[in-house]
Amino acid sequence: MGNFVDHVKITCKAGNGGNGSMSFHREKFVLNGGPDGGDGGNGGNVCFYADLNMHTLLDFRFKSKYTAENGVDGAAGNCTGKRGEDLIIKVPVGTVIREAESGALVADMDTAGETRTILHGGRGGWGNRHFATPTRQAPNFAKPGIKTEVHTFLLELKTIADVGLVGYPNVGKSTILSVVTSAKPKIGNYHFTTLTPNLGIVRRHGKDIVLADIPGLIEGAADGAGLGHDFLRHVERTRLLLHVLDIAGSEGRDPVEDFDQINHELANYGELAERPQIVVCNKSDLPDSEENVVRLKAHLAELGLDYPVFVVSAATHQGFDALLDKTGDMLEALPPIVHFEEEVSYDDSVKPGTFEVVRDGAVFEVVGSSMQRLIDSVNFDDEESMSWFHRTLRKWGVIDALRKAGAQEGDTVRIIDMEFDFVE
């Protein structure tokens, strides 16, 4: 379990679109053959696949850069270039994909077998045959394919489980998991034996219940103390919490105070304290356990909490049948946890987007996310391509914006690394 990794940063890039071809039909005895430049192929997409057989993000520590295949350039004879192959990136079920810089949600891979297209490949450029008109029968330009951008993502794995076992270190969560399921977690009589979430499945009355043994929490866990943030994320998806206490106080702590402190940490991390709970009083075979159970129930009554309380012993295997029956009954009545968060999407196609005109002395610079892709689409050695470029600037409102900024005929306009004279 030392190789469990639940958060990584990766970079992804969809494939570039292939360039359109500029060519003319050549055939014996055929004069002035028309344009027959084929289109470039679209670039490959970047997709993520939720794989039920993966349980860690470890592989991404060794490979963190992913690029889909580029589209092939078009060719003469109206031959369209081959489309780039999609890149399928497998991640464990429960992986959340976010923008690295903003933290915005890109995708939540919470369903086994689900495939999500995150980045779309660049469109292939048009061959010159698309630009033929009755008055322009031999177009001398074609469009380049769209070049895509590199995006950086954060991958964060949140365990998919119905029930989460929470509590202080060494209260017996791992032992309980091993008793009620076939899981074999690492068990030892020292704090933080469990350093990764352990999953186990218990079949009860024909239905499977997935339990997650969440590593022990300590005071300040919600603020990142101990191993806090790394562990609390794994409780977010659970519908029900089994709050495990060392009811005998064998570690020298008061189980009633432990109960309050763990709930305080859960409350500080989102809305976890509002999640339904079953209080599991473990180590009931040790001295002082009965007295502490009475104190705990009185404390719950004072707080107005009607949490079910079950007294068990992982050492003697007593009390678990009733606990599991109650767990199954409560789960049947609880809906799945759904986090409503808007997902962002990406489009590397040439669109107006947002832009602004910045005056730098005598130069008017047009700055915007789509300008690089627009510049890449123009053949500046061809007059007809330049005319298309000027029409596009007018259509997008760039010409009007330059005029409003004070640009006059003949002034210098800079777009990316190209400079032009302003023409109405």
Q: What is the pLDDT of residues 366-396, one digit of tens each?
A: 988 778 778 877 777 777 778 888 888 998 8
Domain count along the chain: 3
Are 293 and 193 members of one domain? yes
* 245 in a structural domain: yes
Beta carbons within 8 Å of 301's beta carbon, 6+ residues apart: none
Strand order in the sheet with 95-99: 65-67, 7-13, 150-157, 95-99, 105-109
Q: Which domain holds residue 284?
A: 163-333
On whether both 149 and 184 belong to a single domain, the answer is no
Find the CATH number of the domain harbouring 308.
3.40.50.300
pLDDT for position 124: 92
- Residue 117, Ramachandran bin (φ over 0: left; ψ between -120 and 50: alpha; else beta): beta
What's residue 13's pLDDT? Answer: 96
pLDDT score recorded for residue 89: 97
Give the bridge partners for 241, in sequence order: 164, 277
Q: List the structure tokens of 380.
A: 């500046």
Q: Are residues 175 and 276 in the same domain?
A: yes
State the CATH number of the domain containing residue 415. 3.30.300.350
Name residue, tokens 């730098």: 360
Tell which wins on pLDDT, 338 or 360.
Answer: 360
- DSSP designation for 421: E
Q: What's the token pair of residue 75?
A: 């060719």
Last residue of a domain, one of 128, 157, 186: 157
Picking from 225, 175, 164, 168, the residue whose alpha carbon sits closest to that of residue 191 is 168
Q: Is the residue at 107 inside a domain?
A: yes
Instruction: Examine the domain organization and report whether 390 and 320 are in the same domain.
Output: no
201 and 114 in one domain?
no
**Domain shared by 381 and 283, yes or no:** no
Residue 152 lies in a domain: yes
Q: How confident is the model at residue 157 (pLDDT cuts 50, 70, 90)?
A: confident
Residue 221 has pLDDT above 50, yes or no: no
Is there a single domain that holds both residue 205 and residue 317?
Answer: yes
- Asked whether residue 339 is domain-assigned, the answer is no
Q: Residue 191: what pLDDT?
A: 37
Lowest-confidence segment of 208-212, 279-283, 288-292, 412-416 by average pLDDT: 208-212
Both 120 and 25 in one domain: the answer is: yes
- Residue 349: per-residue pLDDT: 57
Task: Please check whether residue 125 lies inside any domain of the structure.
Answer: yes
* Assigned domain for 340 exists: no
Question: SS3 letters for 223-274?
Answer: HCCCCHHHHHHHHCCCCEEEEEEECCCCCCCCHHHHHHHHHHHHHHCCCHHH
| pTM assigned to the model | 0.66
Q: In Å, what is the CA distance from 241 to each residue of 160, 205, 216, 273, 312?
A: 13, 20, 13, 9, 16
**pLDDT band of 193, cuts 50, 70, 90:** very low
- Same domain for 13 and 136, yes or no, is yes
Domain boundary among 157, 176, 201: 157
| Averaged pLDDT for residues 15-22 | 91
Contact 173, 244 (CB under 8 A): yes
Please count the other Cβ atoms lying within 10 Å of the Cβ belonging to residue 360. 9
Indicate if 17 and 88 belong to the same structural domain.
yes
Does the structure show a pLDDT above 80 at 86? yes
- Same domain assignment for residues 145 and 276: no
Residue 282 has pLDDT above 80, yes or no: yes
- Indicate which CATH number applies to the domain containing 28: 2.70.210.12
In a domain, 404, yes or no: yes
Say what the pLDDT of residue 232 is: 63
Instruction: From 389, 348, 398, select the one nearest 369 (Cα to Cα).
Output: 348
Looking at the structure, tell me whether residues 78 and 169 fall in a common domain: no
Is residue 350 in some structural domain?
A: no
Question: Which residue, 89, 123, 157, sits at the end of a domain?
Answer: 157
